[in-house]
Amino acid sequence: MAQAFIMLGVLFLAGLAADALGARTRLPRVTLLLVLGIVAGPSVLGLIPETAFDWYEALSTVALTLVAFLLGEAFTAEKLRAHGRAILSVSLGVVLATLAGVGLGLWLLGVPPELAIALAAIATATDPAATGETLREAGARGPFAETLKGVVAIDDAWGMMAFALAIVVAQGIAAGVVEAHHVTQALWEVGGAFALGLGLGLPAAYLTGRLRPGEPTRLEALGLVFLAAGLSLWLGLSFLLAAMTTGAVIANLASHHDRAFSEIEAIETPFLVLFFVLAGAAIDWRSVVGLGALGALYVGLRVAARVAGGWVGGQIGGMGARESLWIGPSLLAQAGVAVGMALVAAQALPEHADTILALTIGTTVLFELLGPLALMRAVRSLPGTGAN
C-alpha cells in the first residue's frame, strides 16, 4: 500500500517536471513522459513495480474516454460548417491511404495477406490523447488546429470501422471462408457504439449544467465518462466511438451552457500522466529487437501513407499547400487504440499473434515519440496557429 502511494506521488511530480522541462526544451510533454516510462520501466531500470501494470487497462480506458469526450466537441455544427469539408476529406484520405499503402506494400513484399490486412488496419489508429495534449501545450489555434482536432476525432471512427471489417476479411482469408457472425460483430461494435452515444448524449444534453447555473459539475462529467466506458465494455462496443458520439451530441444540443466539458479538462491531466508513463514502461525492448526489416518496412509505409493521404485529402478539402503537407505527419502518434486493436487481432489470428503484438508495441513507441515532435514542428511552422 505504501509503495503504491509513493509511486503515485513520484509519477505526478514527474509529470510536473516534464511540464517544466518541456517549456525549456520545447519537447512535447507526451514524449518526455513516454521516455520517463521507458527508462523507469522493467526493461531498463525496473523502478516501476509490476503491480502498477494491474491498473494499466482500466487507466487507459478512463484516459482515452476522457479524451474522446473532449474530441466530440470538434463536431459542433459551427465547426463542421467552417472546417467540415477538410475534416471529412483528410480523415478519409489518411485512413484509406494507410489501409491501401501499408496493406498492399506488406503483401507485395511477401507478408501473408491476412497479416498484411490486419497490420494495415491497426496502422489507421491515431492517438487522440497525445495529439490533443500537444496541441494544447503548443497553444495551437486557428483553422489548422481546429481541422486537426476534427480529423483526430473522426479518423479513429473510420479506423475502427475499417479495422472491424478488415479482421473479418483477414479471418476469412486465413480460414478460407468469411462467417456471418464476424460481420454481425463488426456492425454491432460500430453501430452499437453510436447508438449508445446517442442514448447517453440526448438526456445529458438537457440535464448537464442545470443542477446549478453555469457549466456541468465535475460529478456530472465523471458520471458520463464512467457510464460511457462501462456500458461500452459491458456491451462489447467501442468505448471511444461511444464517448465521442456522446460528446458531439452534448456539444451540439446543450445550448444552456457555454462549455460542455470544462470539468473534464480540469481532471484529465493526472490520468494522462499515469497513462503515458505506464504506456512507456509497458514496453519490453526484447520484443522489439527481432522486428528487423519488417518493422522498418511497416514504419516507412505508414509514414508515407499518412503524408500522401493527408496531402491528397487536404487538397480536396480546400486546405493550403503547406497545411496539406503537414497534416499527415501531424497524425503519426499511436498509443492505446493501436495496442487495443493489436490485442483483438492477435486473438482473431492466433498464428500471427506474436508478430502482431511485437510489431505494434514496438512501432507504437516510435510513433508515440515522433508524432508529438512532428505535430509541434507543424504548428510552429504554419502561420496563424498561435504557437511560439
Give the per-residue SS3 of 319-346: CCHHHHHHHCHHHCCCCHHHHHHHHHHH
* Spatial separation of the C-alpha atoms in residues 243 and 197, rounded to whole Å: 6
Q: What is the mean pLDDT of residues 268-276?
A: 77
Q: Is residue 332 part of a domain?
A: yes
Q: What is the mean pLDDT of residues 340-347?
A: 72
Residue 199 neighbours by CB under 8 Å, 6+ apart: none
Residue 2 neighbours by CB under 8 Å, 6+ apart: none
Q: Is the pLDDT of residue 257 over 60?
A: no
Q: Is residue 74 part of a domain?
A: yes
For residue 118 the three cell numbers come to 490486419
Q: Which helix (H) or strand (E) holds 291?
A: none
Query: Could you tell me the CA-to-CA distances from 315 to 87, 108, 124, 172, 201 in Å, in that order?
Result: 11, 29, 20, 36, 34
Tally of helices (H runs) and strands (E runs) in the chain: 16, 0
| pLDDT tens per residue across span 76-130 | 776 666 556 777 788 888 888 888 888 898 888 888 888 888 889 888 888 777 7
| 52 and 7 Cβ atoms separated by less than 8 Å | yes
* Spatial separation of the C-alpha atoms in residues 120 and 154, rounded to whole Å: 18
| pLDDT tens per residue across span 19-49 | 677 666 656 666 677 777 777 777 777 777 7
| 283 and 38 Cβ atoms separated by less than 8 Å | yes
**Confidence (pLDDT) at 215:** 59
CB atoms within 10 A of CB 140: 24
**Confidence (pLDDT) at 7:** 73
Looking at per-residue confidence, does 383 or 68 come out higher?
68
| 275 and 63 Cβ atoms separated by less than 8 Å | yes
| pLDDT tens per residue across span 144-172 | 777 777 777 677 667 777 777 777 777 77
| 123 and 47 Cβ atoms separated by less than 8 Å | no
| 277 and 31 Cβ atoms separated by less than 8 Å | no
Average predicted confidence (pLDDT) for the chain? 76
Q: Is the pLDDT of residue 201 over 80?
A: yes
For residue 51 the three cell numbers come to 503491480
**Confidence (pLDDT) at 254:** 73
- Residue count (the chain): 388
User: Which phi and psi angles does 373 have, rounded to 5°?
Assistant: -65, -45
* Spatial separation of the C-alpha atoms in residues 63 and 350, rounded to whole Å: 29
CATH code (residue 181): 1.20.1530.20
Q: What residue ranges in the chain does DSSP mark as E strands?
A: none
Query: Could you tell me the CA-to-CA distances from 245 to 40, 114, 307, 340 in Å, in that order?
Result: 36, 31, 27, 20
* Spatial separation of the C-alpha atoms in residues 337 and 271, rounded to whole Å: 16
Q: Is residue 1 part of a domain?
A: no
Q: Is residue 19 part of a domain?
A: no
For residue 317 the three cell numbers come to 478539402
pLDDT-based confidence at residue 231 (cuts at 50, 70, 90): very high
Q: Is residue 6 part of a domain?
A: no
Number of domains composing the chain: 1
Query: Could you tell me the CA-to-CA distances from 364 to 65, 152, 180, 182, 251 in Å, in that order?
Result: 19, 17, 32, 27, 31
Q: Is residue 388 part of a domain?
A: no
Q: Is residue 373 part of a domain?
A: yes
| 225 and 66 Cβ atoms separated by less than 8 Å | yes
Q: What is the mean pLDDT of residues 312-318?
A: 80
* Spatial separation of the C-alpha atoms in residues 366 and 299, rounded to whole Å: 9
Q: Is residue 330 part of a domain?
A: yes
Domain that holds residue 137: 30-381
CB atoms within 10 A of CB 59: 19
* Spatial separation of the C-alpha atoms in residues 202 and 191, rounded to whole Å: 17
